[in-house]
Amino acid sequence: MNLYDSLPDAAATVFGAEAVGSLAYDVLTVDVPVGSWISSLEIARDKLGCTYFDWLSAVDEPGTGFQVCAHVVSLENHRVRRLLLRTTVPHAAASLPSAVAVYAGAQWHERETFEMFGVIFTDHPHLVPLLLPENFEGHPLRKDFVLAARVAKAWPGAKEPGEAHDPDAPKRRQMLPPGVPDPNDWGPLKGQLPPAPTRPARTPRAAGGAGAPARTPREGAPVRRTRSVAEGSATQAPPAEGDAPVRPVRRSRSVADGSASQAGPPGPATGAPDAPAAPPPAGRGSDAPWHDPKPAFEEPAPAATPAPPEPPPAQTPTDGPAPDKSPDETPDETPDKKPDTAPGKAPAKKPDPAPGSGSTPDPTPDNGGDA
């Protein structure tokens, strides 16, 4: 079994009694004291096989110090095994022995950590700035580093649009991002700037205090509105005297009675005695169409069937003689004889005998004396 596989449980056995191991995000981490820094690096290289040096840097932890980290890797048997060694130095005495004698590649990493955080690596062969110019002041990656560029030029959120025309006017409180000090306390204009103007004290009325005096309206200002919402706006013309405002009758009927705007049933005729008011209909009002559904297309009404004609009343026999048939109703016994009438002229009709005369007409037609 490899010694690396026993970590982090055996961290105190491998790196010393004060070492603390942990495993998070697939990275094995071991925290060691400052006095065991160089010996811990040698153990990682010689016993754990971490011969590859990856990087070295630091983290500024406010209230704790600078946490220096070294990330080394083991590549034995074509297997990648990572180890992160950490130690903490205080802010007041940020000093740590150099790891160049154990890992030669740590030289440039320690130079960068020196200029960015201010950690001094003792026994370093050439501890000079690596990235920053020679006359640069401060350590940029410290949490207390001042952003000098924001002091020389105000950041965009320092002023609102339109505030630059009157520099003496009171402004809103300026918002400063983290790391930006007051230009009058730090920078090339330290102690040369006037104090920032303060806002005038708020009056009791503006502050909403109780018992604040009423504000005096300025000359020519419109009268302050003292009307309620029901009375309308102060710009509306008041009604003329004697003309009471006409208001609609307040609705006092139920849903079943329908809307107040619907026409009621016709009243009694003029002059008729006052009849008692009819009770409201039991059905629902007509303002709800779903109460009286109708088809979309009405079917045509069927045609009225005519009533059958009534039969004539039966004739009752009388005591008098039955009337004889008229001569024109007698059928012609000689169909080959032509009538004397001219074509297109109707034959003259003989008058009917008077009823009750008792004379019987001769049924034989008159042939001009020929028997």
Task: Choose between 94 and 310: higher pLDDT.
Answer: 94
In this prediction, residues 258-276 reach a mean pLDDT of 56
Q: What is the pLDDT of residue 83?
A: 96
Task: Name which of 131, 132, 126 is nearest 100 in CA terms.
Answer: 126
Q: pTM for the whole thing? A: 0.45
Return phi, psi of residue 115, to 5°.
-80, -25
| pLDDT at residue 202 tops 60 | yes
Q: What is the pLDDT of residue 182?
A: 72
3-class SS of residue 100: coil
Which tens digits make up the pLDDT trace of 126-176?
999 899 988 888 899 998 887 766 666 665 555 555 555 566 666 555 566
| pLDDT at residue 371 tops 50 | no
pLDDT bracket for residue 45 (50, 70, 90) = very high
> What residues have CB less than 8 Å from 57, skipping those under 6 apart?
68, 69, 109, 112, 113
| pLDDT at residue 68 tops 60 | yes
Average pLDDT, the chain: 73
Which tens digits make up the pLDDT trace of 49-67?
999 999 999 999 999 999 9
